[in-house]
Chain A
Amino acid sequence: MLTIENLKVFHGPIEAVHGISLTVGKGKCVSLLGPNGAGKTSTISAICGVASCTGTIRLENVDLSTKQIEARVRSGISVSPEGRRVFSNLSVEENLILGGAIRSDLTEVKKDVSKWFDTFPILGERSKQPAGTLSGGEQQMLAIARALMSKPKILLLDEPSLGLAPMIVGQIFAMIKTLKAEGMTILLVEQNAHQALQLSDYAYILNNGQVHAEGTSEILGNSDSLMAELTGIT
């Protein structure tokens, strides 16, 4: 579904990612792991079109590199970004409606919004509240739901567990698991390697802007040295 070849990402004059390649198959969940500063978020930014980069980015064989941010979203990319970035001055409901902005049928969009309220009653309870008043975990749920409103082909999740209490993290990952079960293609960026590996079919370990290792979750999970490196626990 998503193919990236020789991606180099730049922040101004600084090269943050030094030519990585990765693939996300349709319906698969692929993790991008690694310590802070490895280049994970830079990769996501490059896919979205926010950061400047060189290399090839192809979504279902459509070359994205010439497209602006908005066009990439219309091509089927959707992101729950690092820090969630919900629109804090808009209500929960309004956030979700904006998520479906590229769809033409407003009534269908509103139906989907109601569906999300059924699936996550807490969002429904807070539907008229400004999104900025939600807790971190609720905002993360909102960010993911909002990203899905556009009915994307691939969902990019950037550090969904960041800053959340362990119990909430569990809920978020349960949500992601459900999405995967429903056939959503997911690219997951995480520092929480353990939980991410449990979910994913395949993983890439990034370090210093390069792919350090890659493989299926079993292989990576069974490699004690890798896990120690990732989790810092020997």
Chain B
Amino acid sequence: MEYAAQQTMNALAFGAEYALLALGLAIVFSIMGLVNFAHGEVIAVGGYTMVAFAALVTANPLIIILGAVGACIIASLALERVAFRPVRYADATTGLLTAFGVSMVLQNLFLLLVSPRPIAVTSLYFLDWPMEIFGIRVSSLQVFESVSTVVVIMALMMFLRRTTLGLAMRAASLDFEMVRLMGIKANRVFAMAFMISGLLAGLACIFIMARRGSVDPHLGFNPVLKAFVACVVGGFGSLPGAVLGGFLLGAVEVGMLVLLPQEYGGMKDAFVFGIIGLVLVWRPDGILSPTQEKGDKL
């Protein structure tokens, strides 16, 4: 019973992280059709900022956290302004390739300017201690992660439903030109999307750093891959799909960990992908894919 509850917590925490990551991708994709593969590097920026802050500014963990999240937001906005604006209205292929190029440049910049070796980030260890909930032992980090993800998702929902800019972002995913014809500046919509994406990346960064304890140039690769898979499963471009995909991925991963006998442990990833593959065969566009408008409704 305790084991089951612990594993459920595990699945929840992993799912929450993947949902955060997937949302970061989905928000940008839903508006401009761009698969932002540089999202992982935004997370890495946060990690390196933590190192810098810890070494140069202060050891105060709160400030370090704020600094990391802030850095992620700034990095995300900078990417939009510098790298993605020229290809803003280009087709999806161009944007995707640009994102890949940016990702490569950033990864190698980290290599070149900082260090190819992992650098330790210890400031966040305090977040991780064993806790007891209803008599079940879990890690506090998992609790934080799950709770903050739920809070963030609810805040995002409120933003998208109650504010004009939020409405504009939802409308933009369907008809961007018409949003501009409402007088809403395209720049603001894009900037907001990337800002939210950066915020989500920053949050994910905190938890990744707290668990990993180090940052290296290729840190972003795995998270962005997981985010990508989650989005594919949930339906690329759909925000609820991203969340669903994230939690599903977390559940399947933990499920595989639990169900597979010890010897096959290394095969976990292959099985996860196999299940994902099956989901895609059943629903090639993802489970909650946004309906594609194929014609005019006249």
Contact = CB atoms under 8 A, between A and B. Distances in A.
A88 B168 contact: no
Contact of A69 (B175, B180, B296): B180
A84 B161 CA distance: 22
Categorize the interface residue count of chain A: 20 to 34
Contact of A101 (B164, B173, B175): B164
Nearest to A89: B174
Interface string A65-97: 000111001100001010111011110001001
A98 B182 contact: yes
Contacts of A73: 180-183
Chain B, interface SS category: loop
Contact of B181 (A81, A89, A139): A81
A41 interface: no
A70 B186 CA distance: 8
A162 interface: yes
Contacts of B173: 89
Given A88-B174, A89-B174, A94-B167, A101 B183 contact: yes
A50 B177 contact: yes
Nearest to A146: B182
Contacts of A85: 175, 178
Contacts of A99: 182
Contacts of B270: none
A108 B110 CA distance: 50
Which interface residue of A88, A106, A146 has the most chain B CB atoms within 10 A?
A88
25 contacts: A48-B181, A69-B177, A69-B180, A70-B183, A73-B180, A73-B181, A73-B182, A74-B183, A79-B181, A83-B296, A87-B171, A88-B293, A89-B170, A90-B170, A94-B161, A98-B164, A101-B184, A102-B182, A102-B184, A136-B297, A136-B298, A139-B297, A150-B183, A162-B298, A163-B298
What 5 A-B pairs have minimum CB-CB distances, sorted nearest first? A73-B183, A102-B183, A163-B298, A87-B171, A69-B180
